[in-house]
Structures are given as structure tokens and as C-alpha cells.
Chain A
Amino acid sequence: MNSDLQLKNKRVLVVDDLVEARSAMKSMMAMLGAENVETARDGREATDMIMEKDYDLVLSDYNLGKGKDGQQVLEEARHTNRLKATSVFIIVTGENAVDKVMGALEHEPDGYLTKPYTLSILRERLTRLMVIKDTLKPINQAIDLGDIDWAISMAHNIIQENPAYLLPASRILGKLHLQRQEYSEALEAYNTVLEQRPAIWARLGQAVCVYHLGDPDKAATLLREILIDHPLYVQCHDWLARIMLEKEKKKEAQQELQAAVAISPRGVLRQIELGRLAVENDDHQVAQTAFEQAMRLGRHSCYKSSENYMNFIKALQHNLGNSDGKDNKILCSKAMRALDEVKQEYAGHNSVIFDANIAESHTYHMVKDKQRSRTSADKAEEMLTRIKDPTCEQQIQMTEIYVDTEQMDKAKDMLAVIREREVPSDLLNRLDLIKQQVEGTNSSYSAELNTRGVGFYEKGKYAEAIAAFDEATKYDQAGASVLLNSIQAKVSYIETQQMDLKQLKDCYRLFRRIGTIGQEDERYGRYEKLRDSCERLRRSAGI
């Protein structure tokens, strides 16, 4: 068999975080005749190297310490098309950890190598995989060229000429047909395999075809049967989730995805999907964990997105609201760490930073840290001025934060701005809620100002009283009593201090706002008296 293994001119990449394992593999590869072997210490380094150079053979350990693992290296390499279909990718795993790796991957490796391995095991395995790859080369070359028709016909040729390659060739054949949504053809390929061997991927393929051919119930049954035999075959859970979702069984779908992430927690996309589904199911605990994982895993991958961070914060805020307080501190600091990270990672993206500041302010508001909440609100406000055409949602977010931080004037102004534009229907509820809050808080705030004004007035501090009443009467809802109080303060000020035409004019403006007060109204006497005083002051001023 040794003669079959031609590694001399192959560009080989060995990836392992442990130095002994790395050098052991490297020296074994040298013994097998490879002259061009490079090594990488972690997932990031491996990905960088794959992005830069074409490798014919990659041997990557599954576990690469912190950061990306072998699965992620493979997924990125295939996802970005940096690894040709003709090159061989082998995942090396600790003994039987292969069970956890297998079936978790959308992009599967060409093969697995289980530790511990000896030189001859390595030689045997490599020879097999390279011979297969070589035999299937016409198919893979066609795939690399994007000629799927040709690839399919090559696959049929190979199966016909060399029945020993039925499994590997059918595996590609099935996938190609699935890609082109030719489900009957794909099903035929999988069924042919299953007549010969109980290959698990063929069983999955069969179920997927049955689903697409319009029998989701039978597909679900098939998937559950596979899971009995291979409980770690994660993709079955993914498909079951999809089927459940289609049947509007969102809770069951969530359970399937939870089962999937329990087996294979490293798939970013699956975590994101679980998070979204959990939000729909109002299960914010699960959502929080899922988005937290997505955020953490995405950090080193091509699936990194600020949305993961913000979704995490949103879910966390739900839990902050529901928790009895003792976890609040932990949750809050978790939120702040995530927000710091997002600000750092997305510096210069004004909208992202704006969202982060809004979230920060809201989180502080929820734990009743008024001061910090206000500081973050100010940062958000500043950021909003830098956004060229703020969206309606951003303006609504800002308004909500103004309400949180009791900046009612600004909230009102922002509402006026929003009134000028068309509000998307999904935001109307939020907008209504703000309006209620603004109005509700206004009347109580205005009442508070009124009380304050009365306090000043009673102590003879008329100037201060005027300021408080002026503030209170700014609100449209300010009632006649408040308006009369304001007039009275102004009148007393002019009478005791000095003539002030502006204040006097204000009094008339306030009378106009009050309109007429009937004789039966208990405030009628006071109203008449103040009117007389004003008239007197006007005459004495000579107007």
C-alpha cells in the first residue's frame, strides 16, 4: 500500500495546539514521504494559512484550545471556498470523541483519524482517503468548475465502473442532487446505498428527500429512528426542528434545537436560530444562553455580527426584569462586558454604537442606576446626531430612553419629530406606549412642579415659584388651577418686587388658555380676583 501514498509533492498543513502532537504528526508525515509540511498552532493561524495558500491535505485536530476548533476551521475553509473540493481535510480527534464530531458538521471532512494512531494506521487511513479522493477527482474538479451536470454524470460513471466506490461517490451524488432540488434522484442514490450498507448519512439523506417530496411526517419518523441508533447525529435534530417549525409547533422545534446544541454547542448559526426561536416562545433564559454562545463563538468566525450582541442584551434585559434581584448584579455586569466588547469591535459604526448606548442606558435603568442610565442616554443622544438619516426605530429608541431618564421635554420634542414621518406599522405599539407614558408622567410631573411652586410661593420666594409654575404650565395637560397658581405668583412678584411687562403679558396669555370659568366653578372667585389685579397692574403700568 505504501507505494500508493504519494505525498512528496503535496502541500500539507498540520494543525494542533499541543506541541508534542504537532511534531509527532509532522515527523510521521515525513516518514511517509511528505516533504512540504507546515504547521499551525491554533484555529486562527490555520485559517490564515488556508486563506493564503492552497493545501492539498489538511490534518487538523478537533480540539484546538481557545478560539476556533477544527470544525470551524473546516467550515470556514469550505464556506469561503478557499479549500478546493479536490483537497483532503482530515479531522483528528481524541478516542471516540469522533462520535461527537460526526454528524455535527454541515461541511463534513473527508475523513477522521482517531487518536491514538500509529504510523501504519496513519498510512493506511491516508492511503484510503487519498485513493478515494483521487478516484473521485473528476467529480470534484467538475464541482470546482461549477459544472454540476458534468459532476453528476461523472459520479454515475464511477459507480458503474467501480462498485467499490458506491458509497463515497453516492454521497457526493446525493448532495449534488439535493443542491439542485432533484429530490427523487437524490432519494434513489441514497436508497441504492442503503440496500448495500446501513450508512448513516444515507439514512439522513433519505429522510431529507422524503421531507422535500412532501411527507414531513414520514421524514420525522425516519429521523427519530436514526436518532435511536445514533443519538449524537445532530443534523437529525436540526431537520426535526425544521419540520416542527413548519407545523407551527414552535415549542417542539425549540426542544429539538436545544437537543442539538447540547450535543454540538459550537455551531454559531444553530445557536442564533435557537435564540430567535426561544424569543418567539418567550423563553428568554434559553434565548440569553443561545445568544451568549453565538456571541462567544462568533468572535473568531466569519459569522460574527453585532446583532448577536444586541440580541443577547435584549434577552438578558428580559431576564433582568423577571429576576428577583439577586442575579441582577451578575446579569448587569455580563451585559456591560458584552456592550464594552461590541463598542470596541464596532468602533466607527455609529448605528451599532448608538444601539449599544441605548441598551446600556436601558440596562442601568432596569437596575435603577439613574446616574449611569443618564450618562449612557447622553452618549446615545450624541451618537444619534452623528447618524445621517436616523431611522424611525432609532428615534423611538431614543424617545424611550428619554422617558426612562425623565427627560420629558426631549421626549416630547422627539415625538413631534416622529409625528412628521411615516411610522412602520410594527413600531406603532411601541410609539403608543411612549405617548401614554409621556402624557401620564407629564401630568404627575406637572403636579410635582406645581407643588414645588406652591412651596416657594408660601415662603415668599416668588421668582422661584414663577420658574416652577412656568415649567409646570409647559405641559398641555396643565389644569386651570395650575395656570391660576402661575398667574398668582407673577402678580405677587410684580406687586412686591417690581413691574415686569413680560410677566404681565404672560398672565394674559395664561388667562386665554384658561378660557372662561363659570360662576358655579369653585375657582371663579379666585379667577375674578386675579383678573382684577392684572387689570389694575396694567393700568398702573400705563398700557
Chain B
Amino acid sequence: MDFEQLTAAVIHDLKNQMQTLVTESERIRQAVPPSYTDSMDALLKRTRGIQSEISQLITLYQMKSHSIFTSDEAWPQSTLRMVTEQALVQYPGVQIHITEGDDSPGFYNDFLVQMALACMVTNSVQAGATEVRLQVKTEGGTLMFSVSDNGPGFPDNILAGERISRRIGGTGLGLYFSELVARHHHRGQQKGHVSLSNNPEGGAQVTLTLP
């Protein structure tokens, strides 16, 4: 077993242990008296944070080793709800809204898209946003997920195409990861992509377009 395989095995094991930990914590949270709920929430928040980063790590590893992520029927509204729920636990001070829309299923890898959107939310929060809005639109067969916030917006160098930011506290790889996820989805010659912009009324907007 070489080093890389060993690392993969350890991370995989970590992931499984995290799953047990999260499940147990959720069970305990239901069982404890209400006065402890806050402490449990704080614990869960960290635990879920670690869990999601481990998932990201594994996914990056798998994308690098050319694993296949198959698309399946998935519901954009469900995807947004999952992202919101996860974010609310991780960032209780931030307001997250979903703009309701078309509820028909799409065909994509739910797991990857959720992770990409979660990265975008994390980016927003870390840039200082206090409100994040998630939305999905369909145009013909194309799905457009967008995350917009009330933060300072993207600096020019990022809008110009630079991807690795040196923001403190995050991995800074969120956009890079999102682009990987977008490109993974394609339909014939059309590939998915990520576009960045700043809202006229202020704040950043990221759109993940899946063909």
C-alpha cells in the first residue's frame, strides 16, 4: 500500500467515524433536556463542519483520481434546502433564504452540486455577508443555481479570472472546486460553467450553470 492509498483509507475511515458521530449527536440532541440544546448545537455545528470538509477532501481526491460521479434524477429545490440547512447549522448568525421556483427534477449529481453550493455560501459568509439568497432557474433544459449575498462583492482580480484567493479562514479553493463540479456536468458538447458578478445593489453573485 503506498502513501496515497494509505491516506485515502484513513480519510475514508474518518468519514465513517464522522457519520456515526453526527448520527449519535443528533440522537442525543433529541434526547437531552432543552437547556442543553444550545451546547449540543454548538457541538453539532463543529462536527458537521468537519464532516463537510472531509467530504470535500474525499471528493477532490476522487476527482483527481478520475473517479466517476454519475448523475441521477435530483430536485433543485431539495438541493437548495439541503445546502441551506447545512449552512444554517454552520453559520447560525447568517440569514439564508431560498427563492422558491420550479420544482421539477433535474438530472445531475446532487452530492457534487450541494458541495459546490455549500462552498459558495461559505465564501459569502467568510467575505462578511450576513444575508445569502439561493435560487434556481430553468431555461429550456438548462439549470442555473445562483448564490447571491450582501457582502462586499468580488474584488477585480477575482472577476478577472484569478481563482486562488488568500482569504483567511477558508481553504480558498471553493471557486476552483465549484468549477470542477460544473465542468463535470455536460450534455453532448455543452459543459457546465460558473460565472461571477457583482450585484448592482451591492454584493456578490455566483451562478452555477448545468446544461
Selecting from B22-30, B169-177, B200-208, the interface stretch reads: B22-30
Closest chain-B Cβ to A510's Cβ sits at a distance in Å of 79
Closest chain-A Cβ to B51's Cβ sits at a distance in Å of 7
Q: Is B82 within 8 A of A124, CB to CB?
A: yes
Asked if A168 is at the interface (CB within 8 A of a chain B CB), the reply is yes
Rounded to whole angstroms, the CA-CA distance of A98 and B188 in the bound complex is: 23
Q: From residue 49 to 81 of chain B, which have CB atoms closer than 8 A to chain A? A: 51, 55, 58, 62, 67-73, 75, 78, 81
Selecting from A190-198, A237-245, A392-400, the interface stretch reads: A190-198
**A residues less than 8 Å from B27 (CB atoms):** 27
- Known contacts being A167-B105, A198-B187, is A24 close to B20, with CB within 8 Å? yes
Q: Is A116 within 8 A of B67, CB to CB?
A: no
Closest to B21 in A: A116
**A residues less than 8 Å from B73 (CB atoms):** 167-168, 199
Closest to A225 in B: B188
Q: Is B104 within 8 A of A163, CB to CB?
A: yes
Asked if B141 is at the interface (CB within 8 A of a chain A CB), the reply is yes
Asked if A166 is at the interface (CB within 8 A of a chain B CB), the reply is yes
Q: From residue 173 to 209 of chain B, which have CB atoms closer than 8 A to chain A? A: 186-188
Asked if A164 is at the interface (CB within 8 A of a chain B CB), the reply is yes
Q: Is B70 within 8 A of A230, CB to CB?
A: yes
Asked if B19 is at the interface (CB within 8 A of a chain A CB), the reply is yes
Q: Is A124 within 8 A of B104, CB to CB?
A: no
Closest to A199 in B: B107
Asked if B211 is at the interface (CB within 8 A of a chain A CB), the reply is yes
Closest to A98 in B: B70
Q: Is A96 within 8 A of B62, CB to CB?
A: yes
Point out the residue from A95, A124, A198 that lies within 8 Å of B58, measured CB to CB.
A95
Point out the residue from A121, A164, A195 that lies within 8 Å of B104, measured CB to CB.
A164
Rounded to whole angstroms, the CA-CA distance of A165 and B102 in the bound complex is: 12
**B residues less than 8 Å from A163 (CB atoms):** 104
**B residues less than 8 Å from A119 (CB atoms):** 26
Describe A's contact surface by its main secondary structure.
helix
Contact mask for chain A residues 182-214; partner B; CB cutoff 8 A; 1 contact, 0 none: 000000000000011111100000000000000
Q: Is B103 within 8 A of A118, CB to CB?
A: no
- Known contacts being A164-B105, A197-B141, is A128 close to B78, with CB within 8 Å? yes
**A residues less than 8 Å from B75 (CB atoms):** 128
- Known contacts being A96-B67, A99-B68, is A24 close to B23, with CB within 8 Å? yes
Rounded to whole angstroms, the CA-CA distance of A163 and B105 in the bound complex is: 10
Q: Is B18 within 8 A of A116, CB to CB?
A: yes
Asked if A422 is at the interface (CB within 8 A of a chain B CB), the reply is no
- Known contacts being A95-B15, A231-B68, is A198 close to B81, with CB within 8 Å? no
Closest to A124 in B: B78
Q: Is B141 within 8 A of A196, CB to CB?
A: yes
**A residues less than 8 Å from B188 (CB atoms):** 198
Closest to A202 in B: B107
Contact mask for chain B residues 13-54; partner A; CB cutoff 8 A; 1 contact, 0 none: 001101110110011001000000000000000000001000
Asked if A120 is at the interface (CB within 8 A of a chain B CB), the reply is yes
Asked if A103 is at the interface (CB within 8 A of a chain B CB), the reply is yes
- Known contacts being A118-B22, A197-B106, A198-B141, is A112 close to B72, with CB within 8 Å? yes
- Known contacts being A114-B111, A164-B104, is A103 close to B15, with CB within 8 Å? no
Rounded to whole angstroms, the CA-CA distance of A229 and B71 in the bound complex is: 10
Q: Is A197 within 8 A of B107, CB to CB?
A: yes
Closest chain-B Cβ to A463's Cβ sits at a distance in Å of 75
**A residues less than 8 Å from B140 (CB atoms):** 196
**B residues less than 8 Å from A168 (CB atoms):** 73, 105
Asked if B100 is at the interface (CB within 8 A of a chain A CB), the reply is no
Q: For this complex, into which size category does the number of interface residues on chain A fall? A: 35 or more
Contact mask for chain A residues 103-137; partner B; CB cutoff 8 A; 1 contact, 0 none: 10000000010111011110011001000000000
**A residues less than 8 Å from B141 (CB atoms):** 195-198
Q: Which of B70, B105, B140 has the most CB of A within 10 A?
A: B70
**B residues less than 8 Å from A164 (CB atoms):** 102-105
**A residues less than 8 Å from B162 (CB atoms):** none
Rounded to whole angstroms, the CA-CA distance of A164 and B188 in the bound complex is: 23
Rounded to whole angstroms, the CA-CA distance of A284 and B136 in the bound complex is: 55
Rounded to whole angstroms, the CA-CA distance of A166 and B26 in the bound complex is: 36
Closest to A164 in B: B104
Q: Is A167 within 8 A of B107, CB to CB?
A: yes
Q: Is A198 within 8 A of B107, CB to CB?
A: yes
Closest chain-A Cβ to B141's Cβ sits at a distance in Å of 5
Asked if A20 is at the interface (CB within 8 A of a chain B CB), the reply is yes
Closest chain-A Cβ to B59's Cβ sits at a distance in Å of 8
- Known contacts being A99-B70, A163-B104, is A116 close to B51, with CB within 8 Å? yes
Closest chain-A Cβ to B154's Cβ sits at a distance in Å of 31
Closest chain-B Cβ to A476's Cβ sits at a distance in Å of 69
- Known contacts being A120-B82, A195-B141, is A232 close to B70, with CB within 8 Å? yes
Q: Is B26 within 8 A of A118, CB to CB?
A: yes
Q: Is A96 within 8 A of B30, CB to CB?
A: no
Closest chain-A Cβ to B176's Cβ sits at a distance in Å of 20
- Known contacts being A128-B75, A198-B211, is A103 close to B70, with CB within 8 Å? yes
**A residues less than 8 Å from B15 (CB atoms):** 95, 116
Closest chain-B Cβ to A252's Cβ sits at a distance in Å of 24
Closest to B54 in A: A116
Closest to A115 in B: B19
Rounded to whole angstroms, the CA-CA distance of A196 and B20 in the bound complex is: 39
**B residues less than 8 Å from A20 (CB atoms):** 20
Rounded to whole angstroms, the CA-CA distance of A289 and B54 in the bound complex is: 39
Closest chain-B Cβ to A68's Cβ sits at a distance in Å of 23
**B residues less than 8 Å from A125 (CB atoms):** 78
Can you give 8 A-B contacts (C-beta < 8 A)?
A: A95-B58, A98-B72, A112-B72, A164-B104, A197-B105, A198-B71, A230-B68, A233-B70
Instruction: Give the 8 A-B residue pairs with the shortest CB-CB distance, closest first.
Output: A116-B19, A164-B104, A198-B187, A197-B107, A99-B70, A24-B23, A199-B107, A124-B78
